[in-house]
Amino acid sequence: MKCSDVERVLPELLDGAPDGAFPADFETHVKSCPACSNLVSDLKLISSEARQLAATEEPAPRVWLRIAAELRAEGLISDAAIREPESAPTRPILVPTSRRPRWSAWWLAPVAAALVAAGSYVVSHKPAPQVAKQQAPATRVASPAPVASPIPETPAATSASAPTPAPRQMAQKPAKPTDTIRPAVEPESSEEDQQFLTAVSTRAPSMRTTYENQLKAVNADIRETQAYVDRNPGDTDARQHLMDAYEQKALLYQIALDRIQ
Amino acid sequence: MASFQQASLEQTNLRQATVVTLVLVTCLASAALAETKKEYRFTVGANANISVDTQYGAISVRPGSGNQVVVMATLKSDNVEVDQQQNGNRIEIASHLLQGADQQTGQVDYELLIPPDATLNLRSSTGPLSAERLQGDLTLEGADAVVNVRDVDNGHVHVRTMRGPITLTDVRNGHVEVVSISGDIHLKSVTGPLVQANSGRGKIFYDGDFGSGGNYRFTTHTGDIEALVPADVSADFRAHSVLGRVRHDFPLQPKHSRFSAEAGRSFFGTVGKAASDVVLRSFSGKIRLKQR
Is B281 in CB contact (< 8 Å) with chain A?
yes
Which tens digit of pLDDT belongs to each residue from B219-239?
999 999 999 999 999 999 999
Contact B163 A214 (CB under 8 A): yes
Lowest-confidence range among A7-11, A141-145, A171-175, B242-246? A141-145
Residue of B278, B284, B287 for testing the chain A interface, max A β-carbons within 10 Å:
B284
The span from the CA of A155 to the CA of A251, in Å, is 40
pLDDT at position B192, please?
A: 94
Contact B201 A217 (CB under 8 A): yes
Task: Band the pLDDT of A205: cuts 50, 70, 90.
Answer: confident
Which tens digit of pLDDT belongs to each residue from B1-57?
555 566 666 666 667 766 666 666 555 555 555 789 999 999 999 999 999 999 999
Stated pTM of the model: 0.65
Q: Are strands B49-54 and B119-124 parallel, antiparallel or unpaired?
A: parallel
pLDDT at position A160, please?
A: 41
Task: Band the pLDDT of B117: cuts 50, 70, 90.
Answer: very high
The span from the CA of B265 to the CA of B280, in Å, is 11
Average pLDDT, chain B: 89
Mean pLDDT to the nearest integer, A148-166: 36
Mean pLDDT to the nearest integer, A10-30: 69
pLDDT at position B87, please?
A: 94
pLDDT at position A121, please?
A: 65
pLDDT at position B58, please?
A: 96
Q: Percentage of chain B surpassing pLDDT 70?
A: 87
CB A239 within 8 A of CB B244: no
Contact B240 A171 (CB under 8 A): yes
CA dihedral B173, B177, B180, B186 (to 10 degrees): 20
pLDDT at position B99, please?
A: 85
Task: Band the pLDDT of A141: cuts 50, 70, 90.
Answer: very low
**Closest CB from A147, A161, A164 relative to B243:** A147
Contacts 24+ apart (CB under 8 A), A108-114: A108/A196, A108/A199, A108/A253, A108/A254, A108/A256, A108/A257, A109/A254, A109/A257, A111/A192, A111/A196, A111/A253, A112/A250, A112/A251, A112/A253, A112/A254, A112/A257, A113/A250
Sheet (strand B68-75) strand order: B36-43, B68-75, B108-114, B59-63, B129-132, B147-153, B166-172, B185-190, B204-207, B225-229, B287-291, B246-248
Is B261 in CB contact (< 8 Å) with chain A?
yes
DSSP string, A191-224: HHHHHHHHHHHHH-GGGHHHHHHHHHHHHHHHHH
pLDDT at position A130, please?
A: 40
Residue type, B217: R
Task: Band the pLDDT of A131: cuts 50, 70, 90.
Answer: very low
Q: Are strands B68-75 and B108-114 parallel, antiparallel or unpaired?
A: antiparallel
Contact A160 B267 (CB under 8 A): yes
pLDDT at position A164, please?
A: 34
pLDDT at position A93, please?
A: 34
Which of B288, B285, B281 is CA-nearest to residue B219?
B281
Which of B259, B143, B54 is CA-nearest to residue A169?
B259
**How far does B94 lie from chain A, in Å, by closest CA?**
12
Give Cα separations from B150 to B62, B63, B140, B146, B288 (angstroms): 10, 12, 13, 13, 25
Which tens digit of pLDDT belongs to each residue from B52-96?
999 999 999 999 988 999 999 999 999 999 999 999 999 999 999
Residues paired with B205 in a beta bridge: B186, B226
| A 164-203 near B (Cβ less than 8 A) | 164, 166-171, 173
pLDDT at position A151, please?
A: 34
The span from the CA of A248 to the CA of A224, in Å, is 14
Average pLDDT, chain A: 63
Mean pLDDT to the nearest integer, A183-200: 72
Give Cα separations from A86 to A32, A89, B211 (angstroms): 51, 5, 80
The span from the CA of B182 to the CA of B199, in Å, is 6
A95 pLDDT above the threshold of 90:
no
Q: Percentage of chain A surpassing pLDDT 70?
A: 38
pLDDT at position B246, please?
A: 95
Contact A241 B242 (CB under 8 A): yes
pLDDT at position A136, please?
A: 36
pLDDT at position A206, please?
A: 79
Give Cα separations from A132 to A50, A93, A230, A242, B83 (angstroms): 56, 71, 12, 20, 60
Task: Band the pLDDT of A196: cuts 50, 70, 90.
Answer: confident
**Residue A19 DSSP one-character state:** G
- Higher-confidence position of A204 and A125: A204
pLDDT at position B208, please?
A: 94
Which tens digit of pLDDT belongs to each residue from B150-171?
999 998 999 999 999 999 999 9
Q: Are strands B129-132 and B287-291 parallel, antiparallel or unpaired?
A: unpaired
Chain B residues with beta carbon closer than 8 angstroms to that of A259: 55, 123, 125, 142-143
Mean pLDDT to the nearest integer, A153-164: 37
pLDDT at position B240, please?
A: 93
Which tens digit of pLDDT belongs to each residue from A36-55?
777 777 777 666 665 655 54
Residues paired with B142 in a beta bridge: B161
- Higher-confidence position of A159 and B237: B237
Contact B262 A218 (CB under 8 A): no
**How far does A210 lie from chain B, in Å, by closest CA?**
9
Which tens digit of pLDDT belongs to each residue from A77-94?
555 544 444 444 333 333
Chain A / chain B CB contacts < 8 angstroms: 157
Backbone angles phi, psi at A101, to 5 degrees: -60, 120
pLDDT at position B264, please?
A: 85
**How far does B16 lie from chain A, in Å, by closest CA?**
37
pLDDT at position A67, please?
A: 67
**Closest CB from A146, A156, A244 relative to B221:** A244
CB B127 within 8 A of CB B147: yes
A161 pLDDT above the threshold of 50:
no
B243 pLDDT above the threshold of 70:
yes
Q: Percentage of chain A surpassing pLDDT 90?
A: 7
